[in-house]
Amino acid sequence: MAKICSRGMNRFQVYSVNGDVRLCSWMRDMHLGNLIDNTVEELYNNEAAKRIKNRLLAQDYSMCIVDSCPYLANNSLAEELIDYDPEQRFPKRLALAFETTCNYACTGCTYHSKLHGKDMEQIERNYEIIEERLREVLPHVTYISANGCGELFASKHILKLLSEWNPDVGIENTEVSLESNGSMFDEKHWKQIENLGKANLSVSITVMSFDEDIYRYLSGTKLPISQIENNLRFIKGLREKNIINHLELCTVVQEQNFREMPRFARRCIEEFGADSVRLRPFVAWGAKEEDIEWFANVRNPRHPMYNDYKRVMSDPIFKHPAVDDWSGEMDSVDSTYSPLQMSKAENKMLSYFWKNSDNFLGKIRSMTPGENGKVAVYGVTDLAKSIVDKIDSTQGFQLEYMIDRDCKDWYYGEKRIWRHIHLKEQDKGLLVIVAQIKRKEQIVSFLKSEGYENVVTIDELVEDYELINELNEILG
């Protein structure tokens, strides 16, 4: 029987106030639609879901984010594969994360800003529809997780659904996984959902640091660390009574806190009774300026503190069976140069292009077959836009579209930007110009995996060897 990743088959996450739904949050091509306009069954079986499942069935993980997925990072995906059931109509695992309400403003998180400027009355109407849709499937669900996109105990609608949950198989035959920042996880708040103590209950608490200043900075809070420590002692008590069956304490390893990781892991195990300690690698989600996020990613071999990071992470505590390093001791996949270095290189290339655009276009034209050479441009950088503008004003070219799987826009002028490529047979002959210097090798590999056979990077069009040497010097 065919095998598929369990997260792509069974998981169903509602992750926004609009009822947006995805299967796995660790992949780029993940959006299925929303619960405002569709039922759970419709979304779970729509064309987007089929495309994702078919890709995973083919063992194609090119759209998966390795820095986010511990199974790929640790080469343990085989343990997550399950038998594929084409007749399965509903997801078996429900992830409730549609309330982005939080009492923190973590430096690496974008969720705390998603409600700013929103129509709160409309959002409340959305919540009512989402709850109605979810209640249709809640009796059939045997696993629930909540809440990775906000603070659980600040999410009144999710707490309500959890407190009322009455599964057909009986709550004692279900699994529940709760995520919290721990700041509100005390006896008073726990009583709202203490019914979940009858399930096989796992609890994950994320603490960015036990150092007061670092904790407050990374969490964006004025709360004292002593409040978290007291709540962790209360949670430890629930674990000792077997009300909680598994306790996981977590953090996100980054430049500001990596030095304390050995002490952090020991406190979690010895003082707070953690069954496991999850060390999650930092991933840039666009919450801060690019240079700040780049500096936070200390796993990048080009980071100035990378060697210190490797030395700290060689501590014997990280071999403890309770410590779960999600990075798999791998360097960051996104091992890019600093934004300042990239900006210097890109500006050099942009200046060269405008001085030598006719030569550029001549080389591009020689690579494109037919009377009107069909081309696509990858990237929405200043350089990419300049190339698009020049091609548009030059005869003998036909620009089909732009491509950028991470772009937040859909159009540049009248030019369509494809975030996720849905390859058409006739597109295989297109010349794709990669107009990005950053991660160009990864982009070329991605494009070729999608079937684009004719791919050229922007530096391959440069005839000035002094510039190439200068770029290599800038980029180290």
Non-local CB neighbours of 228 within 8 Å, separated by 6+ positions: 181, 182, 183, 207, 215
For residue 434, what pLDDT band results from cuts at 50, 70 and 90? very high
List pLDDT tens digits, range 188-221. 999 999 999 999 999 999 999 999 999 999 999 9
Q: Is the bond preceding 75 in cis, omega lying within 30 degrees of 0?
A: no
List pLDDT tens digits, range 381-422. 888 898 888 888 887 777 888 888 777 677 888 788 876 555
List pLDDT tens digits, range 41-60. 999 999 999 999 999 999 99
Non-local CB neighbours of 203 within 8 Å, separated by 6+ positions: 177, 178, 180, 185, 235, 238, 239, 244, 246, 247, 248
Decide: 199 and 172 in contact? Cβ < 8 Å.
yes
Decide: 169 and 217 in contact? Cβ < 8 Å.
no
Query: How is residue 132 written in tokens?
Result: 């109605």
Query: How is residue 345 written in tokens?
Result: 């290189």
Percent of the chain exceeding pLDDT 90 equals 53
Cα separation, 261 vs 82, in Å, equals 34
**Comparison of pLDDT for 291 and 335, the residue scoring more:** 291
Pure H helices in 83-185 = 120-135, 156-164
Stretch 280-309: mean pLDDT: 90
Non-local CB neighbours of 204 within 8 Å, separated by 6+ positions: 177, 178, 179, 180, 248, 249, 250, 278
Cα separation, 306 vs 311, in Å, equals 9
One-letter amino acid for residue 233 of the chain: R
Angle of helix 156-164 versus helix 120-135 axis, rounded to 10? 20
- pLDDT over 90 (residue 235): yes
Pure H helices in 274-367 = 290-296, 306-312, 339-355, 357-367
Helix (H, G, I), strand (E, B) or coil at 250: strand
Percent of the chain exceeding pLDDT 70 equals 94
For residue 231, what pLDDT band results from cuts at 50, 70 and 90? very high
Among 121, 125, 88, 103, CA closest to 11: 88
One-letter amino acid for residue 403 of the chain: I
For residue 173, what pLDDT band results from cuts at 50, 70 and 90? very high
Non-local CB neighbours of 353 within 8 Å, separated by 6+ positions: 360, 383, 386, 387, 458
Phi, psi of 378 (to 5 degrees): -95, 125
User: How confident is the model at residue 475, as a pLDDT?
Assistant: 64
**Mean per-residue pLDDT over the chain, rounded:** 88
Pure H helices in 25-100 = 40-44, 47-57, 70-73
- pLDDT over 80 (residue 85): yes
Stretch 428-455: mean pLDDT: 83
